[in-house]
Amino acid sequence: MNRIDWEERLQHFVQVLAFCLVVATIQYGFQPDRPYGPPVVYSVLIGIFIWAIIDFGRAFLPSAADTGWPRGFTAIALAAGGITAGWFIGTQVADSLCKAYGIYPPGSAPADPAADLRNSILIALIAGTVATYYFYSASRSTYFERQIGEARRHADEARLKLLETQLEPHMLFNTLANLRALIGVDPPRAQQMLDHMIAYLRATLTASRSTTHALHAEFDRLRDYLELMGIRMGARLAFSLELPPELAQRPVPTLLLQPLVENSIQHGLEPQVRGGRITVSARTEAGVLVLEVVDTGVGTTAMPSQGQGFGLTQIGERLTALYGDRASFEFDSTPGQGTRARIRLPLDDA
């Protein structure tokens, strides 16, 4: 059974009550010579039974699990069943109530019972359908509004998380601490470091605005990052960037290699006392562009976990979105030896 929202049911009940009174009043308006009491009693009772059957009945239908309302055939069956059963029960109860309390004024027996029955069924059918459809569409629109709100929140969270991984606070503050130190002892080098940092920050913050850039731009951003890290890690970091000039203008997705290089630093070289070397290279191989990030860090036994995983899953997802199955991503790591990440992109349209 689905969860029942009691507050929502109460609201519906009040609305149904008001609607029934309106229906009874209209009915009275057409036959002002007849008393107002009976139409009110019939209308309210039939309405409440129809409402109760449909509004509580939908909680038992499995297809109503997410929107709160069933779909397709079950929806029509529920409405038809609710209106029919509600009319019968409501009419029976109203009959006995009117008799028991003498709501019919003396001498006002219906002139044409068949016509009254026809009217009653017609009114119940039309009013029941209208009201049910009204509640149905109101519920669905709040459901979709909620869905949109949630989707928006998820997107915001994802963007924030991406930014947080890119602008990792630990990296940021350590870099600032280095800058502060350099300003005192070696101002020209501090300036150089600041320039690398500005370029790195700019690239990181604008990466989401364009989807591709030239391979040499990608390598320039990597150089900014590695120079920054080089100042921090000193002799513990060695790196080389190998980009053949004929590939320099090849377009590649923006900052595709950045997470791999950061990965190599954070999880490969930083934990290793003696440091190590990172080699980033581009080459063509049988009509395919091969990009590689290789480090001599500590390596890992398992597939990268949590924090690392975010960057790596993202690479896989981006490649699939842009190239389908014509691109591939391999990640291969041996404890004590290092890590090799390799991306293959199609050369023709890349």
Closest distance of CB 180 from other proteins, Å? 4
Residue 128: is it exposed, middle or buried by C-beta count within 10 angstroms (0-12/13-18/19+)?
A: buried
Cα–Cα distance, 300 to 314 (Å, whole number): 19
241: its two tokens:
């960037």
- The CB-of-299 to other proteins minimum distance in angstroms stands at 12
Between residues 91 and 266, which has the closer beta carbon with respect to other proteins? 266
Question: What CA–CA distance (Å, rounded) separates 71 from 78?
Answer: 10
Q: Which two tokens stand for residue 111?
A: 């002139």
Question: How far apart are CB 307 and other proteins at their closest, in Å?
Answer: 10
Kindly tell me the burial class for residue 107, based on how many C-beta atoms sit within 10 Å of its own C-beta (0-12, 13-18, 19 or more). exposed
- Of 175, 202, 203, which is closest to residue 190 (Cα–Cα)? 175
Nearer to other proteins, 1 or 273 (CB): 273
> Which residues bind to other proteins, rule: CB under 8 A?
169-170, 172-174, 176-182, 184-185, 231-234, 236, 270-273, 275, 301, 335
What minimum distance in Å lies between the beta carbon of 66 and other proteins? Answer: 28
User: Which runs of consecutive H residues, i.e. helices, occur in 167-186?
Assistant: 169-185
Nearer to other proteins, 107 or 234 (CB): 234
Closest contact distance (angstroms) between CB of 273 and other proteins is 5
**Nearer CB in complex with other proteins: 9/236:** 236
Answer yes or no: are the C-beta atoms of 83 and 125 closer than 8 Å: yes
Cβ proximity to other proteins: between 35 and 307 the closer is 307
Complex with other proteins: residue 32 or 188, whichever CB lies closer = 188
Q: Which residues contact 307 (CB under 8 A, 6 or more apart)?
A: 165
- The CB-of-182 to other proteins minimum distance in angstroms stands at 6
Amino acid symbol at 110:
P
Whichever of 66 and 168 has its CB closer to other proteins, that residue is: 168
DSSP 69-129: S--HHHHHHHHHHHHHHHHHHHHHHHHHHHHHHT-SPTT---S-HHHHHHHHHHHHHHHHH
In the complex, what is the shortest distance from the CB of residue 60 to other proteins, in angstroms, rounded to a whole number?
A: 35
